[in-house]
Amino acid sequence: MEKAFLVYKNGELVFLGDKTEYKLSQLTKNYQGPVFFYNLDFVRARVQQMQSALKDVRLFYALKANSHPDVLKVFKDNNVGVDVVSGGEIQHAIKNGFRYQQLVYSGVGKTRKELELAIQNDIHQINVESIPELQRIGEMSKTLGKKANVVFRINPDISIQSHPYIATGLKDNKFGIDTGQLLDVIEMAKRFSSSLSVRGISLHLGSQMLEFSSLKDSLAKLKPLFLKLRSEFPECHRFDFGGGLGIHYEKQDLESEGKLLKNYSEVVFSELTTLTYDIPGLEIQSEPGRWLVGHCGVLISQVQYVKKTPHKEFIVLDSGMNHLIRPSLYEAYHSIHSLKKSSESTKKYDVVGPICESADFFGKDRDLPEVKQDDFIVVSDCGAYAATMSSDYNLQDRALETSSARL
Ligand code: LLP
């Protein structure tokens, strides 16, 4: 793929995929309101790139990143499973053609109703996050006459360089089982030996990792715990190292992301390969989300007003934090483009939405070609954690989602 994927051709923004290119102005022809457009060709290329870099690792796509049926189909067709975190996500995955045996079920707050759905249908794996959860699964499986496949998600107490709201591997975080509680976990799993099958260990350090020393340290920390578990439960043969591989939001450089993926896989294999020698049939699993879909989506919205004050110039859009909350929630950066580029000269704008909150902005002090009312604005990297985190706050309509370049 080219380094950049959003480029101007004849003054118009074009979205390049692996083999196709989409003229984004097509999506504004019958414009009814903000639109998320997903480039499936792009997703396909990313899946295949990851599958070849993480050879022999079984991938479970984190559906919370983007649950659009057309996106899910790309994963299904490429034999990727799904990481789910709620009964709603389980049902959505099943509706979209995945089997229960392709699902990894994570999350700290699994309810009885959700667990029943998972256990009754012999889900591939439940990532257990606490002792009371393990007890609940053990008791429920017993009552249901089932044997649930469980994996222990361990909290390694290791931080990553990311926004604190999306780091999950520290002891202050609600996620995973504290390493000091492993013996209690083992004891409880043994009590329920007829209704629990202990399949392995899992880890998820957090999201948007661009540096992997913490991952390396965490894998090293988990290896002896995995071996301990295996000595207690011979059926234990899975090592799931979670998701978290980041992307560049501030620059478009797919080449350097290829290198990032390479570094990531080197860290994983350098730590886990020794285990594969010791444990025949070891299954290594991962739960990537953002890296696969982050770049595949754009959000197109229309300028309602250009508001000039003595201090600032605002572009007021018909889309805001209700559709893309990442800038408001994490002060995340998304690049912003005008759909048409009429001149090379630019002006500084704050790009804001219609919502009644001052946190409702996509970008501040952004350089854009002069924009006028009714023009279209394109926000990039909206393939992950954009539509799935959207709301109808202020009773605004949801944005349309499509993978077809013509509405
Ligand atoms: N596995 C588990 C257990 C997770 O909780 C997550 C993401 C993933 C895998 C996938 O992580 P990824 O590869 O996408 O980094 N809303 C935030 C991101 C939250 C991530 C939540 N968990 C954002 O917009 O940046």
Q: Quick one: pLDDT band at residue 1, thresholds 50, 70, 90?
A: low
pLDDT over threshold 90, residue 343: no
Percent of the chain beyond pLDDT 90?
90
Residue 11: the pLDDT is 93
Q: Are 280 and 265 in contact (CB under 8 A)?
A: no
pLDDT of 344 reads: 85
Rg (CA), the chain: 23
Q: At a CB cut-off of 8 Å and minimum separation 6, what does 164 contact?
A: none
> Considering only 14-18, 60-64, 269-273, 346-350, which range has the smallest mean pLDDT?
14-18
Average pLDDT over residues 145-164: 93
Query: Closest ligand 1 atom to the C-alpha of 106?
Result: 3
CB 56 within 8 A of CB 281: no
Measured N-to-C along each axis, helices 87-95 and 112-120 cross at an angle, to the nearest 10 degrees, of 40
Q: Which residue has the higher pLDDT, 257 or 280?
A: 257
Confidence band (pLDDT; 50, 70, 90) for 19?
A: confident
pLDDT above 90: residue 18:
no
Q: What is the 3 state secondary structure string of the chain?
A: CCCCCEEEECCEEEEECCCCEEEHHHHHCCCCCCEEEECHHHHHHHHHHHHHHCCCEEEEEEHHHCCCHHHHHHHHHCCCEEEECCHHHHHHHHHCCCCHHHEEECCCCCCHHHHHHHHHCCCCEEEECCHHHHHHHHHHHHHHCCCEEEEEEEECCCCCCCCHHHECCCCCCCCCEEHHHHHHHHHHHHHCCCCEEEEEEECCCECCECCCHHHHHHHHHHHHHHHHHHHHCCCCCEEECCCCECCCCCCCCHHHHHHHHHHHHHHHHHHHHHHHHHCCCCEEEECCCHHHHHHHEEEEEEEEEEEECCCCEEEEECCCCCCCCHHHHHCCCCCEEECECCCCCEEEEEEECCCCCCCCEEEEEEEEECCCCCCEEEECCCCCCCHHHCCCHHHCCCCEEECCCCC
Q: Is 243 in the pocket of ligand 1 (CB under 6 A)?
A: yes
164 vs 360 pLDDT, higher one: 360
- Distances in whole angstroms, Cα of residue 103 to Cα of each of 63, 95, 351: 10, 13, 39
Catalytic annotation, residues:
356
Q: Residues 333-347: what's their mean pLDDT?
A: 93
pLDDT for 342 equals 80
Region 73-82: mean pLDDT is 98
Weakest mean pLDDT among 14-28, 86-100, 294-308: 14-28
Q: Alpha-carbon distance 46 to 258, whole Å? A: 10
Q: Residue 405 pLDDT > 90, yes or no?
A: no
Which of 66, 290, 328, 390, when mutated, tests ligand 1's pocket best, judged by the most ligand atoms within 8 Å of its CB? 290
Q: What integer pLDDT is reported at residue 407 of this predicted model?
A: 53
289 Cβ closer than 6 Å to some ligand 1 atom: yes
Q: For 48-63, what is the mean pLDDT? A: 97
Q: Mean per-residue pLDDT for 67-77?
A: 98
Q: Is the CB of 76 under 6 A from ligand 1?
A: no
What's the pLDDT at 163? 86
How confident is the model at residue 112, as a pLDDT? 98
Burial 375-395 (b: 16+ CB within 10 A, else e): bbbbbbbbbbbbbbbbeeeee
**Ligand 1 in reach of 61 Cβ (< 6 A):** no
- Residues 169, 178: Cα–Cα separation, whole Å: 10
What is the per-residue pLDDT for 20? Answer: 84
Domains of the chain, residue spans: 6-38+295-406, 107-286
**Is residue 289 over pLDDT 90?**
yes
pLDDT above 70: residue 346: yes
Q: Whose CA is nearest to atom 8 of ligand 1?
A: 243
> How far is it, in rounded angstroms, from Cα 354 to Cα 314?
12
* 2, pLDDT greater than 70: no
List residues bridging with 72 in a β-sheet.
Answer: none
Q: Tell me, using a 6 A CB cutoff, whether residue 65 lines ligand 1.
A: yes
Between 305 and 280, whose confidence is greater? 305
Residue with tokens 């109808």: 392
Distance, in Å, from the CA atom of 366 to the CA atom of 349, rounded to the nearest integer, reads 5
Q: Span 99-108, mean pLDDT?
A: 98
Averaged confidence pLDDT in the chain:
96
- Domain made up of 6-38+295-406: CATH architecture: Beta Barrel (2.40)
Q: Please give the model's pTM, rounded to 2 decimal places.
A: 0.97
Note whether 107 and 129 are within 8 A (CB).
yes
Q: How far apart are CA 88 and CA 67, in angstroms?
A: 11
Q: Quick one: average pLDDT of 56-73?
A: 98
- The angle at the Cα of 119, spanning 151 to 131, to the nearest 5 degrees, equals 45
Q: Residue 402: what pLDDT?
A: 97
Mean pLDDT, rounded, for 180-205: 97
Q: Any idea which architecture 107-286 has in CATH?
A: Alpha-Beta Barrel (3.20)
Burial group, residue 55, by CB count within 10 angstroms (0-12, 13-18, 19+): exposed
Q: What is the pLDDT of residues 217-241, one digit of tens each?
A: 999 999 999 999 999 999 999 999 9
- Cα–Cα dist 115/319, whole Å: 37
Mean pLDDT throughout 329-348?
94
